Structure 1
Amino acid sequence: MSAKKILLLVGDFVEDYEAMVPFQALRMVGHQVEAVCPGKRAGESVKTAVHDFEGDQTYSEKPGHRFTLTASFEEILPSHYDALVIPGGRAPEYLRLNSAVLDLVRHFLKSGKPIAAICHGAQLLAAAGGLTGRRATAYPAVGPEVSAAGGSFVEMPPTGALVDGNLVTAPAWPAHPEWLARFLELLGTRMIP
């Protein structure tokens, strides 16, 4: 396996597990992962939020950790990365208003490089015009946005993941084992049991 260079796009109130777990797991298997946030530099941090499923009509939200950025958004070149990870939480809702973020996402969409989006991360794919004719899953409340953007929303259990070409999507952090396994397959990473 040759190590891949992966970009993790985050913002304040990104979902804690959806940023921390892929960042750590992808590094653990040998990939280089850089975490960036528009308007912030390497060494600064974003606040995270923990979304939990406690039997209410939607998830609950609690303060998470501070997640340290490893690169400066304004200095990165998307062409230097092999793949993109888009965690959920509240960050995608406002990141999709940033034209530089949408251009970055479009680079990965147009180049066919692997993209992993989870939960509300599909909001960025929709805003970038990347779901037309594609099948995707997301947190159920984002389903109407997937459909409105020309995609086919696929409902699935919170532990499932869906692959459509270079895109792997999942509903929420309980899908990490499946979502990350499918993403590693897209990256060509072979895990030996």
Structure 2
Amino acid sequence: MSVKRILMLVGDFVEDYEVMVPFQMLLMVGHEVHAVCPGKKAGDKVKTAVHDFEGDQTYTEKPGHNFLINHDFDSVDPLDYDALVIPGGRAPEYIRLNERVLDIVRHFAEAKKPIASVCHGQQVLVAAGVLAGKGCTAYPAVRPDILMAGGKWLEINDTFSNAHVDDNLVSAPAWPAHPEWMRKFLGLLGSVIQP
């Protein structure tokens, strides 16, 4: 397997599992991952939030861990990266207001580099204008945004356990889909995956 350099876009109150688990999984298989946040540098932290599905009309939210940023956002050159990961949580709703975040996302989309986005991370894809004609899924509340952006909504079963690939984009509705979401992303990266 060739080592890939992966950029992860995060912010305060990113969903805990959606940042921690993919970050650790990608490191575990030998890839290099740079987690960055607008306005933060290597050594800074972002707070995370745990979203859970407990039978309410929407997810519940609880305090998560502090997640260590390991690279400076201001020094990111998207040309240096092979792939992009956008976790969900509340962070996407405000990091999408940063024009440089959107330019970075557009680079990956235009270059057809692998992009893995989960839950509310697709709000960043919508804001970057890169979903036209693309099939994807997300947390159900993001469906109107995806449709308004010209994306094709893909209904995923009620267990939130599936992921979808459309060309270079791997999307999933929430953290319970991690096994399939990461498996499909690793497939796009050309990583060796055991059956």
Q: Would the TM-score normalized by the shorter structure come out above 0.5?
A: yes
What is the Cα deviation at residue 155 of structure 1? 1.2
SS at match of 1:191: coil
Instruction: Select 1:178's aligned residue among 176, 180, 183.
Output: 180
Q: Which residue of structure 2 aligns with residue 120 of structure 1?
A: 120
SS at match of 1:144: helix
What do the CA deviations read for 1:27-64 (whole angstroms, capped 9, x no partner)?
00000011000000000000000000000000000000
* RMSD (Å), alpha carbons: 0.6
Matched letter for residue 160 of structure 1? N
What is the Cα deviation at residue 88 of structure 1? 0.2
Query: 1:45, 1:110 → 2: CA distance?
Result: 30
What is the Cα deviation at residue 192 of structure 1? 3.3
What do the CA deviations read for 1:57-81 (whole angstroms, capped 9, x no partner)?
0000000000000000001111000
Preserved contact between residue 183 and residue 193 of structure 2 (Cα < 8 Å): no
Percent of aligned pairs with the same amino acid: 66
TM-score calculated relative to the size of structure 1: 0.99
Query: 1:58, 1:126 → 2: CA distance?
Result: 21
Q: Which residue of structure 1 aligns with residue 33 of structure 2?
A: 33
SS at match of 1:3: coil
Q: Which residue of structure 1 aligns with residue 190 of structure 2?
A: 188
Q: Which residue of structure 2 aligns with residue 21 of structure 1?
A: 21
SS at match of 1:160: coil
Matched letter for residue 190 of structure 1? V
SS at match of 2:41: coil
Q: Which residue of structure 1 aligns with residue 3 of structure 2?
A: 3
Query: 2:100, 2:29 → 1: CA distance?
Result: 30
Query: 2:81, 2:92 → 1: CA distance?
Result: 20
Instruction: Select 2:163's aligned residue among 161, 164, 167.
Output: 161
- The 5 Å alignment of 1:38-77 reads 38-77=38-77
Matched letter for residue 31 of structure 1? H
Q: Which residue of structure 2 aligns with residue 143 of structure 1?
A: 143
Query: 2:48, 2:152 → 1: CA distance?
Result: 29
Query: 1:3, 1:110 → 2: CA distance?
Result: 22
Query: 1:179, 1:66 → 2: CA distance?
Result: 23
What is the Cα deviation at residue 189 of structure 1? 0.3
What is the Cα deviation at residue 94 of structure 1? 0.4
Query: 2:33, 2:75 → 1: CA distance?
Result: 15
Query: 1:165, 1:79 → 2: CA distance?
Result: 20
Query: 1:187, 1:2 → 2: CA distance?
Result: 9
Q: Which residue of structure 1 aligns with residue 100 of structure 2?
A: 100
Query: 1:56, 1:191 → 2: CA distance?
Result: 36
> Structure 1 stretches (4+) deviating beyond 4 angstroms?
none
| Unpaired segments ≥5 residues, structure 2 | none
Matched letter for residue 34 of structure 2? E
Query: 1:82, 1:72 → 2: CA distance?
Result: 17
| Unpaired segments ≥5 residues, structure 1 | none
1:90 aligns with 2:119: no
